[in-house]
Amino acid sequence: MNDRVQEKLAILADAAKYDVSCSSSGSKRENKGGLGNASRSGICHSYTEDGRCVSLLKILLTNHCIYDCAFCVSRKTNDVKRAAFTVEEVVDLTMNFYRRNYIEGLFLSSGIFKNADYTMERLLRIVKKLRLEENYNGYIHLKTIPGASEELVKEAGRYADRMSINLEMPTEQGLKMVAPDKSHEDVKKPLAWVNNQILEYKQDRKLIKSTPGFVPAGQSTQMVVGATPENDLQIMHTAAHYYKTFSLKRIYYSGYIPISADNRLPAIDSQPPLLREHRLYQTDWLMRFYGFKVDEILNNHHPSLDAEIDPKFSWALRHLDLFPIDLNKVSYGMLIRVPGVGRQSAQKIIEARKFGKLYIHQLKKIGVAYNRAKYFIRCADTPFELGHLQSHQIRSLVLSESSSKFLKTSSSQLSLF
Amino acid sequence: MKQYVFDGSWIGLLTAVFEWFERRDGTVQLIHERYYQPEVFDTALVIRSHQEKAIRVTKGLYKYLNSAQCRTLYCTFLSEIPRCYDVLMQVLIRIFSGQPDALNNYGDAQALFIAQTAKSVEREKHRMKAFIRFEKSGDGLFFATAEPDFNVLPLITEFFRKRYADQPWLIYDVKRKYGLHFDTQKVSEVIIDTTVILPDLNTIAGTRYDEDELKYKTLWQQYFSSTNITARKNMKLHLQHVPKRYWKHLTEKQYALQNL
């Protein structure tokens, strides 16, 4: 019987791993005398050999599916082993993994069998059993099944910490190309239901403190990158729109990993676009934490992100007229726009400069990437230079001094002497 | 230069600060007794840890610092880095001598040392929250061993008490030879007496573990390998997140360890 569970786990973990959402943060569910609680900042309990974190037991309830989406391993026409967990098996695995501190919680998704409501109802049954019968208060990330009824989605929200539903492709056209049965409308509807309900609960909580939580860690979504021909501009504009409209907590960008010989998709031996994915995440961070508007980074003149340099550096090179700035004077908002200065360094600079002007050696110690930052800043002992460097000069100077972690071999020539 | 020698306890460190203000000794150096070597021309004062004096210093500290800043100081102390005690005393003296915001002066080497050391300790604390792996024994106790870089057990007590409120557990720091035990009511500090020879849990396979322990270990190892995407393999990143020194206490890395 054990071997059977192990085989199911192998199949259904493998099928779930292309959903890259991993976070376990944002909830503050407390332990009420049973097992588990949520950690505000989230905890990554392990990391696989691909360097991604393992914080949740990420599985599908089943990989049987009535849909035939070209990009998905579990598509109807794909010749893979199929399996399905029982409700009890999922609950047992979650409880026992959690008790051993293997995981931060459960991430439960499913292929769609019979119909959307039938599937959603099964997922709901597992979540309710964990919460109501097992007294489990750990993290639960529940997938919303597209097409499920509003009642089921809203009921699930009372037990889950986070809910998510994937856009899959960045544009409606892209999605139609690879998954003719699906549409972005099916995603927008449940996102809106849950978002409205979250806002309503927040209002109620202002009046009545004891109002129970509803999806306390908010919603997220995922876009597959590189499967369809959208450019970075389209991807990030979609992202910005969804962040704003549905107050999403996170959008995940998943570099497409070739799993299908379908001629609508990249060939099976092509490399996943890891560098591009990385640049998209950097842009996402600039939008959410660094006060950048999406138009500043990607617009019709610059529809694609620069592969060689990060998007903030690229932005700064296009706006040399704003630099150099005096680190001992400018605001926090401007400090974090300097390439090589992160949020923590910026906060330290703001505190430290109250005690006196800052010098280069202090900046380096504080954690500023000075080799990149030096072209954009002035501090107490910045050497005086005649004339200004042009943006292409700065770019090649910085690139010549650093080596990208994405390059497998160094491209610089050996020096003769 | 005058040297203060203390017993390495937090109370001892605070007492040293108290004594300095009693004596106004000018420039002194605080040394853990473990690292103290008498020198020919220097004089040393042995600090006797004194609860009341330490409490008075603590109360004074809370007048100038918020609780996050006090925690920073305590975390730096837990790092057990030999020079941390002296840096802490110098900064404490400055805080009480008219520089209450000395900790924020990140341009200053001592303040930056404290900020960065405290951050390392907090990182290690977070790692222990993540990397502790319980094994269930035959009598229902969930036990784990760990070798954290810094002495972070005091920082994770509350976390494990709240999270695993309905199961008895034991976390043992092999390096520092003490542990935390929770009996489903309260947490207490325990020392395992190694002079009494106990049968090794690992050598008599299965007999002392819960009968399902091996099953869940295997399932977890299966999950860990199935959730990996081989097309994205990135060992450099993997090692950055899970440095090898932690592997021997991680259930999912046992297989990799055997095949090194």
Segment A318-364, tens digit of pLDDT? 999 999 999 999 999 999 999 999 999 999 999 999 999 999 999 99
More confident residue, B7 or A213: B7
Helix (H, G, I), strand (E, B) or coil at A390: coil
Residue A407, pLDDT score: 59
* Shortest alpha-carbon distance between residue A71 and chain B (Å): 16
Output the six-digit token pair for B172: 């043992």
Cα gap A235→A254, rounded to integer Å: 12
**Chain A touched by B134 (CB under 8 Å):** yes
Edge-first strand listing for the sheet containing B44-46? B28-32, B2-6, B44-46
Sign of CA dihedral B105, B128, A106, A16: positive
Whether the CB-CB separation of A348 and A367 falls below 8 Å is answered with yes
Q: What is the CA radius of gyration of chain A?
A: 24
Whether the CB-CB separation of A138 and A36 falls below 8 Å is answered with yes
Chain B residues within 8 A of A365 when measuring between CB atoms: 109, 112
Contact check, Cβ <8 Å, A102/B252: yes
What confidence category does residue B205 fall into, taking pLDDT thresholds of 50, 70 and 90?
A: very low
Contact check, Cβ <8 Å, B105/A355: yes
Output the six-digit token pair for A326: 């005096």
Cα gap A231→A1, rounded to integer Å: 49
* Shortest alpha-carbon distance between residue B247 and chain A (Å): 11
Helix (H, G, I), strand (E, B) or coil at B106: coil
More confident residue, A124 or A2: A124
- Give the residue among A170, A211, A224, A217 at the shortest CA–CA distance from A194: A217
Residue A415, pLDDT score: 53
DSSP A243-272: HHHH--SEEEEEEPPP----TTS--TTSPP
pLDDT above 90 as % of chain A? 85
What's the number of CA atoms in the CB half-sphere (13 Å) around residue A194? 38
Contact check, Cβ <8 Å, B228/A36: no
Average pLDDT over residues B148-167: 97
User: A109 — phi, psi (to 5°)?
Assistant: -130, 180
User: A198 — phi, psi (to 5°)?
Assistant: -60, -45
* Shortest alpha-carbon distance between residue B192 and chain A (Å): 22
Of B105, B129, B222, the CB nearest to A352: B105
* pLDDT greater than 90 at residue A409: no
Sign of CA dihedral B200, B202, B207, B213: positive
Q: How many CB pairs under 8 A join A and B?
A: 162
Average pLDDT over residues B43-47: 92
User: From residue B144, how far is each of A410, B178, B214 by CA, in Å?
Assistant: 43, 12, 15
Cα gap A317→A397, rounded to integer Å: 12
Contact check, Cβ <8 Å, B163/A355: no
∠ CA A81-A82-A88, nearest 5°, is 135
* pLDDT greater than 60 at residue A243: yes
What confidence category does residue A118 fall into, taking pLDDT thresholds of 50, 70 and 90?
A: very high
Ranking A370-374, A389-393, B102-106, B198-202 by mean pLDDT, the lowest is B198-202
User: What type of residue is B227?
Assistant: T
Segment B165-194, tens digit of pLDDT? 999 999 999 999 999 999 999 999 999 876
What's the number of CA atoms in the CB half-sphere (13 Å) around residue B68? 4
Contact check, Cβ <8 Å, A33/B165: yes
Residue in chain A lying closest to B112 (CA): A366
First to last CA, chain B: 51
Residue B206, pLDDT score: 43
First to last CA, chain A: 68
Residue B260, pLDDT score: 62
Cα gap B224→B216, rounded to integer Å: 12
pTM over 0.80: yes
ipTM score of the complex?
0.92
* pLDDT greater than 80 at residue A205: yes
Contact check, Cβ <8 Å, A257/B231: yes
∠ CA A108-A282-A374, nearest 5°, is 155
Whether the CB-CB separation of A12 and A60 falls below 8 Å is answered with yes
Chain B residues within 8 A of A46 when measuring between CB atoms: 130-131, 224, 242, 250, 252
Output the six-digit token pair for A149: 């009824």
Chain A residues within 8 A of B105 when measuring between CB atoms: 351-352, 355
Q: Give the number of other Cβ atoms within 10 Å of residue A187's Cβ.
A: 20
Whether the CB-CB separation of A324 and A377 falls below 8 Å is answered with yes
* Shortest alpha-carbon distance between residue A117 and chain B (Å): 27
Contact check, Cβ <8 Å, A348/B250: no
More confident residue, A14 or A383: A14
**Among B66, B101, B106, B156, the residue to mutate for chain A (most A Cβ within 10 A):** B106
Average pLDDT over residues A89-105: 97
**Chain A touched by B257 (CB under 8 Å):** no
Cα gap B81→B76, rounded to integer Å: 8
User: What type of residue is A141?
Assistant: H
Cα gap B57→B16, rounded to integer Å: 10
Residue in chain A lying closest to B219 (CA): A6
Tokens 């409205």, residue?
Answer: A196
User: What type of residue is B247?
Assistant: W
By DSSP bridging, strand B142-146 and strand B135-136 are: antiparallel
The contacts of residue A170 (CB under 8 Å, 6+ apart) are A223, A225, A228, A230, A234, A235, A238
By DSSP bridging, strand B169-173 and strand B142-146 are: parallel
Chain B residues within 8 A of A52 when measuring between CB atoms: 229, 232
Mean pLDDT, chain B, rounded, equals 92
Residue B194, pLDDT score: 66
**Chain A touched by B226 (CB under 8 Å):** yes
By DSSP bridging, strand A53-54 and strand A56-60 are: unpaired
Whether the CB-CB separation of A264 and A70 falls below 8 Å is answered with yes
Cα gap A125→A139, rounded to integer Å: 16
* Shortest alpha-carbon distance between residue A302 and chain B (Å): 28
Average pLDDT over residues A293-322: 95
Whether the CB-CB separation of B18 and B50 falls below 8 Å is answered with yes
Residue in chain B lying closest to A57 (CA): B223
**Among B142, B229, B251, the residue to mutate for chain A (most A Cβ within 10 A):** B229
Segment B216-225, tens digit of pLDDT? 999 999 999 9
